Amino acid sequence: MVDYQHVRMDLMTSKQVADYLKTNDMVVLPVGCTEMHGPAVPLGCDTFHAWASALLLADVWKCLCAPPVCYAFPGASGPWPGTVDVSPEITVAYLKAIVKALLKGGFKRVVMYGTHGPLGAMFQMVLRSVYQETQQVIIGMQSPQLMPEDLMMAEFGYGRKEDILVLASLRILGLHGAYDPATDVEKPQTFPFETVGALKKHGASVPWIFSADYQHTGIRPGLKLDDADRAVSVMKQAARRMADLPENFARYQAQMAELMANPPWKRGDAWSM
């Protein structure tokens, strides 16, 4: 059997999904992008992150994992070769269409999951727009929780970066060896101009474009191909910490449904003053 075949919706038949929906209604939608990630990390980095993480979570949550979305607004890597520079508006519209199709197809608890930075704002747009239109609550998750600081420091003595996350993700996806992180080069992860940081410290947001390939992820020596299994172990431990999400998701959906079924703003005693 292929690893994680039992949760991979892309490897199931229509009948198998129909049978699944008789007893469960949850699905994870991995969302990545295709963009420049420096001189060594592959373009599919964020898609690999999202898909591998979603498979681990689906395994813990005992639910299905939908096929990944490979294209989204990339951000600062837009003009670099290999980047597929989709607009934010198209990304939001496409994700919204996929989510609504999953809801139409019988799934009720939909979790969008991705690690790509710009997805945070776009997930917020999608989940709120879907709720306004359908009254269906979905989740957007965009976090480093599958490589949390405490587990990473205990196992490796350093924190999460994209190099080790993609190394572990490729191992989970059966693509181990496609990326070798070994290097003697060290470069910082930086903005293209110091003014970006100077503006951000005041809460200002601006678009920017990387002016050097290493700025996106930084480059650090010390990580080896053989570290992949240890990194996967960290991700699995972290996934188990999130085992309560399906139950809390269902409870929250029920709470929101009750709120809308009995809206307090329509009662005579709604006002506290």
Sign of CA dihedral 146, 149, 151, 155: positive
Q: Assign 269 a pLDDT band (cuts: 50, 70, 90).
A: confident
Within a domain: 40: yes
Within a domain: 252: no
- What domain range includes position 229? 9-242
- 143-167, pLDDT tens digit by residue? 667 999 999 999 999 988 999 999 9
Across 24-41, average pLDDT: 97
Within a domain: 18: yes
Within a domain: 56: yes
- 99-121, pLDDT tens digit by residue? 999 999 999 999 999 999 999 99
pTM higher than 0.75: yes
Number of domains in the chain: 1
Across 245-257, average pLDDT: 98
Instruction: Say which amino acid occupies 77.
Output: S
132 contact partners, CB below 8 Å, separation of at least 6? none
- Would you state the pLDDT for residue 209? 98
CATH of the domain at 170: 3.40.50.10310
Within a domain: 3: no
Q: Cα(79)–Cα(35) distance, rounded to whole angstroms?
A: 9
- Would you state the pLDDT for residue 2? 85
Residue with tokens 């990194």: 231
Q: Assign 268 a pLDDT band (cuts: 50, 70, 90).
A: confident
